[in-house]
Amino acid sequence: MSRRFCVACLFLLFALLFSPLSVHADGFPIIGSLHSGRSPEALAVDAQTHLLYIAHEGPGVVVAFDPVRGTVRWRVTLGDVATDIQVDSITHHVFVTATTYKQREASLYVLDGATGHILATFRTGLGDNGIALDAQRHIVYVSSGNGIDMFAVQAGWQHGPLQVTMTQLHIGKHPQGLGVNSRLGRLYVADVATSMLTVVDETTMRTIATVPVAKTPLQPLRVDEMNGRVYIACAAGQEVDVLDGMKNTMLARIPVVPYPEGIAVNTATGRIYVTNEGDDENGHGHDSGTTVTVIDGKSFDVLGTLRVGKAPDGVEADPTLRRVYVALERSDAVVEVSDSVNLPLQANTQLGQMLAAHDATTLVQQAAILTLLVMLVTIAWTTLAALSPRWRGRGSPRTPRADASSRSTLRSLPR
């Protein structure tokens, strides 16, 4: 009995130590947290099945989680690093980009969302790949270091083997963030090198407009096809830019600190959720963020911040379930947050300090400009006052004084 008991204890110990999947509840507003692998990053939600798909950085593990039942459906390993993940809520196909370091290859994988089986694999360019789907036109866009790979599916989008034609698009110097509005037929490309957003017509592939955005716009771009708005998280610029997709003009520039990484829009509540990873491009304050900033989608006011854990990265919303999922990269967990009006939000003091500093700088600039204008007006007035007697003297000749010499009088007369 003692030997069997020891074997059972060892088995239980190994199961506890090495089991990669665990789910537990925490309490409002964090409904639960899932530990499914190291460094979770990108998230995607199927709007019909409500399955949550998680792409992990290291290794490239992809997990399908059922939040209703609280169970993990499947998991599969793709390469060394999974960089992005998207899902088509009609066909329930999952699209994942992953990189294998030894072969120095990056691939686009198409998975069955119900089982995790690999349906197709396509080579793509190396880089911090991002994905955008146009389910209506059956196109998958993948950003890479070489440009943008456009995979147009000719057959098999819903059933059967996939047949695609691949075209490489050259838009900008270093395209990273991608978004699609299938209703308008527009592709949005955010260039991390030039901080420009390019709007492209999907039919002609011609550039419609280019709009400056804040520094370091990141993947993913969120597009609300109902109102046409495009939401861009700009890390180094520490703000969220909101584009009017109908007019291709900037609606709002919302300050968010420290260093936003991910963004999600809950169309049911109209709220915008921004993860504050705290990772700038120079490595200062690396992964120091712990909060999610909540923004009112109508007024663009910052409602407050919610503390969720270390290094929040990817974020996704399920409007039907009223839930928000946040990937905590350095905590190796994904937290499930209730999207409620009763969220215990806190004022962002760092944001307030930044806004106060911005206002103070603006006031100083305005005061400097006003002082310069006053100085210019004073100098101009003084100069005019000094030149005025001379001008009057030239315009109205005077009678010479009685004591004036005849020589000077003769010189004053014309010859």
CATH number, domain at 122?
2.130.10.10
- Based on the domain organization, do 325 and 368 belong to the same domain? no
Q: Would you list the DSSP string of 70-96?
A: TEEEEEEE-SSEEEEEEE-TTT-EEEE
Q: What is the pLDDT along the chain (415 residues), one digit of tens a residue?
A: 445 444 444 443 333 333 445 555 567 788 999 998 899 999 999 999 999 999 998 789 999 999 999 999 999 999 999 999 999 999 999 999 999 988 889 999 999 999 999 999 999 998 889 999 999 999 999 998 779 999 999 999 988 899 999 999 999 899 999 999 999 999 999 999 999 999 999 999 999 999 999 999 999 999 999 899 999 999 999 999 999 999 999 999 999 988 999 999 987 788 999 999 886 444 444 567 899 999 999 999 999 999 999 999 999 999 999 999 999 998 999 999 998 878 888 875 444 444 344 444 445 555 666 777 777 877 877 777 766 665 555 544 444 444 433 333 333 334 3
Would you say 260 and 275 are in contact if contact means Cβ atoms under 8 Å apart?
Answer: yes
- Spatial separation of the C-alpha atoms in residues 345 and 327, rounded to whole Å: 19
Report the alpha-carbon distance of residue 166 to residue 151 in Å, rounded. Answer: 5
State the distance between the two ends of the chain, measured CA to CA, in whole angstroms.
Answer: 138
Distance, CA of 14 to CA of 227 (rounded, Å): 52
Report the pLDDT value the prediction gives residue 398, as an integer from 0 to 100: 46
Could you tell me if residue 405 is inside a domain?
Answer: no
Same domain, 206 and 104: yes
Domain coverage including residue 377? 350-384
Report which of 69, 75, 99 is spatially closest to residue 19, judged by C-alpha positions: 75
pLDDT at 278: 82
pTM for this model (two decimals):
0.78
Which of the 8 DSSP states describes residue 217?
Answer: B
84 domain residue, yes or no: yes
User: Does 48 fall in a domain?
Assistant: yes
Number of domains, the chain? 2
Structure confidence at residue 282 (pLDDT): 45
